[in-house]
Chain A
Amino acid sequence: MNDAAPEASRVVLDAEQIARVCARMAHQILEANRGAEGLVLLGIPTRGVVLAERLAKAMADVEGVSIPTGALDVTMYRDDLRTQPTRPVGHTHLPIGVDDAVVVLVDDVLFSGRTVRAALDSLGDLGRPRAVRLAVLIDRGHRELPIRADHVGKNLPTAADERVRVRLEEIDGVNEVTIVRDDSASSVAVRRG
């Protein structure tokens, strides 16, 4: 990650806005589910896991119950494994079985939709949820697959050569979402989403 002073970057969500957005999404998830029953939050590493934990805490504050929260690493299910040297695999933690659960996948940025596609495949090998929903902090458009989020923190139209950078305090020391113009050749390679 290039930590040099960002050129032409603009902040699209500051710390306060991120907190408000998370609170709203927590309410929306509970509302769509008519409560907390059956819910399991699975964050997609790395920042999706942090977001999942924040959502779980917000929902626990509202409902007074703790929501099972974990992580779902999708590296092995990616459709582009062969394009780069072997990628390191992240940690998967299922707090409870997913059979008949309402799994809410949580990620920071929704972009091409391929990560979510991989997550759905991974989930399918783990069990048979009653339903799968998707909650993302940022939806930046440019879908390459028929995937849509159920709960979106912020819709952010972007150009393809821009990069959305989500920073969360637990990992990056600050809470901030920025857009950076990315001219580097690596911009395509590191594209997730």
Chain B
Amino acid sequence: MSEMLIRGADVLGQGRADLLIRDDVFADPSEADVSAEQIDADGLVALPGLVDLHSHLRQPGREDTETVASGTRAAARGGFTAVLAMANTDPVTDTAEAAEHVAQLGRRDGLAQVIPVGAVTKGLKGTELAELGLMARSAARVRVFSDDGHCVADARLMRRAMEYVRAFDGVIAQHAQDPRLAGPDACCHEGAISGRLGLPGWPSAAEATIVARDVQITSLTRSRLHVCHVSSAETVDVLRWAKARDIPVTAEVTPHHLLLTTDEVVSYDPTYKVNPPLRAAEDVAELRLALADGTIDVVATDHAPHARHDKEHAFAEAAFGMLGLETALAVVIETMINRGALDWATLAMRMSTVPAHIARLPDQGRQLMVGEPANVVLVDPGARAVVDANASASLSRNNPWHGRELPDPVVATFWLGRPTFRR
């Protein structure tokens, strides 16, 4: 029996209390053993372990850029106790066997709970449904399905997928990018900057039109829709409209879309090349408002590690994506908590409870109360540091925050009682 007594943490910013971790659950602190290890959490905020609905762990296939081990180590540093691993691995996670393999890697190597996301279509090709039901029935119990990286562009296929997963309470997570409006060469936001720089971009309309279509399909099928990485104000408008009609759609925003704009690409630095792209200041402002009022339900990192040789190309030819697990909470604190747009309790909803609910994870995002699974992160709200990409636990270095001063919040992360990160 191992015990850890956390003394005097501010629990969700709602008042100080002691927390006793015994094995993998919370126990009554007054029953703490005298030999229990103690952590003085005076000045620290306790949050439920964060849950990332959208991460790329690259294993199997690109272990040179990230593995389940290194990715979850990065996740633990970022305060995450659960990570959903997107399906665009090599091979693609489009069968029960592939899903179980990823889940097994998680059990063996993970420093956080690893939940595989299943592809919607075979090979992510967008033409035939993958074995959604078998993946759901497998030991991996897949509930979230996504072709992320690609849009499920065929409306009929999207309808079928949504109807099909209703049988097992699955959710389709859409990467909203109309392939006709956003061509294969598009590499940034279409706007004044892309026009000046001579970079082919894609407009917000290519995202909003897919979301507008999909919320209709959601209403038609009475199934659940989740919109990945919302990047534009236009999409937020569609979400507001849909939620006003109680259409069961949820949406996520990445940390980078809460702070960075398309101005970053002026240097042609591929570190800032991401899909969907960084957009204008007006979009960032709208996304923050939407996250504050719940139109956007969760923050998800879209952690996308890339090898240097895949990034060090001309901007239009470089790989898309940025790291995000270690810095997500820091960016959300900077853009939302520190500006008074969110309080800790709501942050816990956006980054733990609601993602756990969307993914149907029974042990995550719970209250920090006796009897609940001990998934908790201790946060120092005032600590700050200059981000050093070279100190990252990720195997990759495509970090857009390098050299910036940001909060440095995570002091300790506990996954089912086990400390997965201590500063």
Instruction: Check whether chain A touches chain B (CB < 8 angstroms).
Output: no
